[in-house]
Amino acid sequence: MAILKAASTSPIVDQVIPDYTTAEAGNPFVEGWYADPDTEIYDGLYWVYPTSSYAYDEQTYLDAFSSPDLINWTKYPNILTIANVTWATRAVWAPAPISRNGKYYLYFGANDIQEGEPEEGKIGGIGVAVADRPEGPYVDAIGKPLIGEYHNGAQPIDQDVFIDDVDGQAYIYYGGHSHANIAKLNEDMISVGTFDDGTQFKEITPENYVEGSQMVKRNGIYYLFWSEGGWTGPDYSVSYAMSESPLGPFNRVAKILQQDSAVAKGSGHNGVIHVPNTDIWYIVYHRRPLSETDGNHRVLAYDRMYFNDNGTIEPIKMLVKDNFANGQMFDWKTYGGDWSVISQRLNVGNSGAAVAVLDTNFTDLVFEATVAITDGSGDAGLVFRATDLSTDAAGFKGYYVGISPAGSINILKADTGIWTSLSEATVEVSSGTEYKVKVTAVGSQINVFIGDSKDPEVTAADGSFVSGATGVGVRDTGAKFGAVSVAKP
C-alpha cells in the first residue's frame, strides 16, 4: 500500500475527519463474505479492495468499496474478473491497489500454485492489472504473472505494493508458506527491478511469519505487518516489525490483533488506513463471526490503531458499537417482530415478543444503548448473556432489562419462556422519549443506570447465566434503539 494521501481533485477527505474508536456504524462495515482487505485513498475517497471469500473455484472476481467517511460505503462489483486475465482460472486473492503516472494498478494472486508446479508448466502467482479509474474495469497488464515462481521458499501470493516518499522507489512485499520477500518494481509498475547486487528477490522473513504482508510508513519508520496462524482457524492473527529501512531488517515486535472470544475469531490479514494530515490510523482486517464454522465465512472490520510515544503499536481492541449511521444492520440477527433501521435507530414494530442480537459472547460487560418506546404499554430494553435463541423470541435463556411507560425498570431472568423478576424500581418513563440505559454485569452482580447517573437505578444478583449474546428486545410494545456499545469492564 502506498503512503495514503488525499487526492487534490476532491476536498471530501479534507472536510470529513473520521475520528472514531472503531466502525461506529458497526462491524462488519460492508455486507457479504470478504477477506484480505487492502486500502488506498483516491479522488478524496477511502477505498477498500478485498478478496471475495468463497471456495477457491468460485474466487474468480474482485469487488471494491469506497467511502467519504468510513461509514457509508458504495460497492463496485466485478472490478477485475478472470475474463480480463487470460492465465487466471481460480483463487483470485488479496488485491493490492496503488496509483502512479495517472494509472491505477491492482496486484493480485491467482491459481494458488504450489511449490514445484511452475517447473511442471503450471501457471499462477502474482499478477498486475491496470485501469483508468479506481473502480476499474481492471485488465491484465502483461498477459502473464508478474511473479510466477517460488523464490526463497515464498509462495507468490499476498502482495503489498509501497512507494517510498524518500526516493519514489516502488517495492512489492509478498509471500506465503512462511516466507516473505521484497522486490523492486520499475517505474512502469509492471516489471520487477534489480537491486544493486544484481538480485531481484530478497528474503525478509520475520519470526512467526506465515503470510499477508503489509507495509506502511509513519514518522520515518517502516512498519511491516503480517499474519500468523492458519487462516481457517481461530488463532489467525496480526503481528508487526519496525525498521529504519524499507529493506529491513524486520524483527518481530509483538502480536497486536487476535481473536476475542467475546467478539470474533480468526482476525487477520490486514490493511491500514491513515487519515491524511492527522495521526489517526485504523487497522482494516477480516474476521470470522463467532457462530460461523465455514472457513470462508469472513467479514470486513476495522478498529482504531494507536501508537505509543516510542512508535510501537498498542494491542488492538475489537470494539462492539453500532450507531446505525449507515442505515444498515449487517451484524444483527432478529427473532420475532418487524425490524428496520430508520433515521439512525433500530426500530421494531409493536410485538408480543421480539429480540435482535449481535453475534457476541460476553461474560462480564458494560452495555449501553438508547431506548425509546414508540407504541404500546409493554417494555423495551437490553438483552445480555443470551443463549438458545430461536424463532420463539421469548424462549431464550439470559437476562433482560426493560423500561416501561407504566413507570418501571425491571431486571428479569428469561428461561425458555419463563420470566422471573430479579429486581424492579420505579422510574419516570414517557413514550416517545429516548433514554440512555447502561447495564454492567460482573460475575453475578447486575447494575442498571439511566442517563448519566453514577448511581444504579436498580440492582440484582443472579448467577444463572454466565455468557451469551447481547442485543435489544421488546415485550408487548414497539421501540427504537440507538448508540449501541458493548465492552468488557
Residues annotated catalytic, as ranges: 36, 211
Output phi, psi for 471, to 5 deg.
Answer: -175, -160
Q: Which residues contact 8 (CB under 8 A, 6 or more apart)?
A: none
Asked whether 380 and 355 are in contact (CB, 8 A), the reply is no
- Give the single-character DSSP code of 154: B
**Identity of the residue numbered 405:** P
Q: All 3 cell numbers of residue 158?
A: 499476498
Separation CA 264–CA 190 (nearest Å): 38
Task: Write out the H or E segment, with its range, that includes residue 13.
Answer: helix 12-15
Separation CA 354–CA 25 (nearest Å): 22
Output phi, psi for 162, to 5 deg.
Answer: -140, 135
Q: All 3 cell numbers of residue 400?
A: 433482560
277: Cα within 13 Å, side-chain hemisphere: 9
Asked whether 362 and 379 are in contact (CB, 8 A), the reply is no
Separation CA 223–CA 436 (nearest Å): 41
Asked whether 238 and 285 are in contact (CB, 8 A), the reply is yes
Q: Which residues contact 163 (CB under 8 A, 6 or more apart)?
A: 2, 3, 98, 100, 169, 170, 171
Q: How far is CA 247 from CA 1, 151, 223, in A?
A: 15, 16, 11
- By residue count, the chain amounts to 489
Asked whether 382 and 376 are in contact (CB, 8 A), the reply is no
Q: Which of 56, 225, 70 is nearest to 124 (CA)?
A: 56
Question: Which stretches of 28-102 are assigned E, i.e. beta strand?
Answer: 34-42, 45-52, 61-67, 74-81, 93-100
Asked whether 274 and 375 are in contact (CB, 8 A), the reply is no
Q: How far is CA 176 from CA 206, 377, 432, in A?
A: 12, 59, 56
The widest CA-to-CA distance across the chain, in whole angstroms, is 81
Task: Write out the H or E segment, with its range, that includes residue 15.
Answer: helix 12-15
